[in-house]
Amino acid sequence: MKLTFYGGVKEVTGANYLLESGDTRILVDCGLNQGSNFSEKHNWDPFPYNPKDVQAVFITHAHIDHTGRLPKLVKDGFRGKVYSTPPTRDFANVLLLDSEHILMEEAERFKKPPMYGIREIEELMARWEGVPYHQTIIVGPIKVTMYSAGHILGSSIVVVEAEGKKIAFSGDLGNSPAPLIGSVEMLEDMDYCVIESTYGDRIHKQIINGTIEDVIEDTVKNKGVLMIPAFAMERTQKLLFEINELMEHGRVLAVPVFLDSPLAIKVTDVYKKYQDYFDAETTELLKHDAGLFDFPGLKKTLTTDESKSINNVSAPKIIIAGSGMSQGGRILHHEKRYLPDPKSMILFVGYQAQNSLGRKILEGQKVVKIHGEEVPVRCRVVSIGNYSAHADQRQLLAWLSPMRFNLKNVFTIQGESDASAALVKKIENDLAVHAEIPEEGKSYIL
C-alpha cells in the first residue's frame, strides 16, 4: 500500500489522505483548510491527484475540515462512491449547504471563481452511501470498516485492510466518555495508525475556571449576558442537554436561552432523527424526557428578525450562537454588543484555532476588531476544557496502547506542529512505538 498526505499535516484542518493498492485509489476525508486567509486561499488550489482516478472516499465525520472540499472533488471529475455512517451523511448535507454561501463570499473576497455550487452538493449526495458501524465495504483489493470514534454522533475510525496489512485512521477521537454518544471503540492488531493530535501536547483540565452551572449562576447574579460561541454540531447539543438538566432540576435559575444559529437548529433536528446512535444512558433518559433538546425558556431564532429581537429581552439571558471560533456568523453581533459589558461573560467550550477571533479573546486581547470596528473586551472570559470534543494526550495514548505490540509506525496529523511533535515523543517514550509527523505531499510505502 502507498499512503500520501495531502492535508492535515502540522495543522488541525484540511484532512485529506490518499491510499493506493494496485490500481485502486481511495481517499480518507477531503476537508477544507480553515483558520487564516493564507490557508483558506489554498482551498481553491487544484487537487494534487486526479479526482477521476479515485474510486471511493471514506469520511470519518461531518465537520467541514473533513468534508468541505468533497463538492469540489465532484466538480473536478470524481465519479466514485462516498461512504460514511448515516448520521455523518445527513450532517454533511446540512453543513455543506450552509458553507456554500460562505465560500461564495470568500471567493469574491479572494477574487476566485466559485469553488462549487448547489448542483455539485446534490450530485455528491447522490453518490454518498450511509453504512453502519462494523459493516465492511470492499473497493477492489481494499476492505474498509468503520468503528465509533466517540467524537460526534456518527463519527468513525476508518480501518483499511489490503495486502495483508491493517491501517487505522483515527479521524477525530472523542473526549471519552462523551455525553449523548458514549466512548471511542478500542482496536488491536493494527500495523499502522494515522492519529489526530489536536491536543497531543496537553491534558484537559476538567475545569479551567468554572462549570456551566457556575457561569450561569454568576451571569444571573450579575444580571449580565452569557455569550457562548458554539460549534453548530456536538458542542451545541451537549450544552442544550446540560442546560436542560440544570434548569429542570432547579440547580440554576430558568432564564431565557436563545439558540441563535439556523445551522445548529438544523443539526439538532438530525440528532433527533438518529437517537439509535445515542449511548445507553441517554436512551434511557429519552424514555422519561423526549425533549432533551427542547425545554421551557429555549427560543430557537431561525430568521434575522428573530435574531435581532434578542436585543429586546432584558438580561440575564444566555445566547448560544455560531460560529464556534467567532470567525463569522451571528455571534459577532452579540460580541460587538456585550464584550464591552463588565457584567457579561463569554464562554468558550471548544478549540480556538491560531489567529481566530476566539483565540485572541481567550488569550486576553483587550481590544478586538469586529466588522472593521474596534471593540473593547471588558466582560469576563471563561473557558471550560471538559467540553472539548477531542481526546487529550492521555486519551490518545490510551487508545493507541492496545495496538502497540503490532504497530510498525504511527503518523501524527491534524494538530499544530508543537502538538504533533509532543505526541510523537510521548508515543515513542511511553509505548516504544516508532512515530513521526509525515511530510505534506510525501508518499509512504506501508
- In tens, the pLDDT along 96-124 reads 998 888 888 888 888 889 999 999 999 99
| Pair 116, 159 in one domain | yes
Asked whether the beta carbons of 79 and 53 are under 8 A apart, the reply is no
pLDDT confidence of residue 210? 54
- State the pLDDT at residue 208: 43
Residue 351: its pLDDT value, please? Answer: 75
Which are the contacts of 365, defined by CB distance < 8 A and separation ≥ 6? 377
More confident residue, 403 or 111: 403
Same domain, 95 and 85: yes
Indicate the pLDDT class of residue 390, thresholds 50, 70 and 90: confident
Give 227's contacts (C-beta < 8 A, 6+ positions apart): 319, 321, 331, 334, 335, 338, 339, 344, 345, 346, 347, 379
164: domain CATH number is 3.60.15.10
Task: Please indicate, yes or no, if residue 19 is contained in any of the structural domains.
Answer: yes
Number of compact structural domains in the chain = 2
- Say whether pLDDT at 301 is over 70: yes
Give 346's strand partners.
227, 381
Would residue 287 count as lying in a domain? yes
Let me know whether 189 and 262 are in one domain.
Answer: no
Based on the domain organization, do 37 and 143 belong to the same domain?
yes
Whether residue 294 is contained in a domain is answered as yes
Residue 10 domain-assigned?
yes
Residue 207 lies in a domain: no
Band of the pLDDT at 206, cuts 50, 70, 90? Answer: low
Q: At what angle do helices 417-431 and 393-400 cross, to 10 degrees?
A: 50
Rounded-to-integer distance, Cα 274 and Cα 280, Å: 14
C-alpha cell at 351: 478549540
Residue 140 sits in the same domain as residue 103: yes
Residue 388 pLDDT > 50: yes
- pLDDT score of 126: 98
Q: What CA–CA distance (Å, rounded) separates 354 from 97?
A: 26
pTM, two decimal places: 0.86
* 345 contact partners, CB below 8 Å, separation of at least 6: 215, 218, 219, 222, 224, 225, 226, 227, 379, 380, 381, 382
55 assigned to some structural domain: yes
Domain end marker among 340, 363, 387: 387
Claim to verify: residue 257 and residue 269 sit in the same structural domain: yes
pLDDT attached to residue 389: 75
What does the alpha-carbon distance between residue 67 and residue 65 come to, in Å, rounded to a whole number? 6
- Determine the Cα–Cα distance for residues 103 and 70; give it in Å rounded to an integer: 13
Strand partners, 374: 369
Q: Are residues 408 and 292 in the same domain?
A: no
How much is the mean pLDDT over the chain? 91
Whether 351 maps to a domain, the answer reads: yes
Q: What's the rounded Cα separation, in Å, for the pair 384 and 363?
A: 14
pLDDT-derived band at 209, boundaries 50, 70, 90: very low
> What pLDDT is stored for residue 257 in this prediction?
96
- Residue 69 sits in the same domain as residue 167: yes
Instruction: Please check the confidence at residue 39 and state whether its pLDDT lies above 60.
Output: no
As a whole-number percent, the residues of the chain with pLDDT over 90 amount to 71
Q: What is the domain-level CATH number for residue 365?
A: 3.40.50.10890
Its domain, for residue 65, covers 2-202+389-445
270 in Cβ contact with 92 (< 8 Å): no
Is residue 160 located within the same domain as residue 307?
Answer: no
**What are residue 186's phi and psi, to 5 degrees?**
-90, 145
Does the pLDDT of residue 380 top 70, yes or no? yes
Q: What is the mean pLDDT of residues 350-356?
A: 81
pLDDT tens-digit series, residues 211-232: 889 999 999 999 999 999 988 7
Contacts 24+ apart (CB under 8 A), 267-270: 267/91, 267/94, 267/95, 267/232, 267/233, 267/236, 267/237, 268/236, 268/237, 268/240, 268/293, 270/87, 270/90, 270/91, 270/94, 270/153
Residues 316 and 424 in one domain: no
C-beta separation of 27 from 16 below 8 A: yes
- Mean pLDDT to the nearest integer, 191-209: 82
Fill in the DSSP letter of residue 46. P
Which of these three, 387, 419, 436, is where a domain ends?
387
Q: Are residues 357 and 412 in the same domain?
A: no
In a domain, 180, yes or no: yes
C-beta separation of 97 from 90 below 8 A: no
Contact residues for 54 (Cβ-Cβ < 8 A; gap 6+): 18, 25, 26, 27, 73, 78, 80
> Does residue 304 sit in the same domain as residue 164?
no
Q: Are 316 and 323 in contact (CB under 8 A)?
A: no
Please give the DSSP secondary-structure letter assigned to residue 404. T
Q: Domain boundary residue among 337, 363, 387?
A: 387
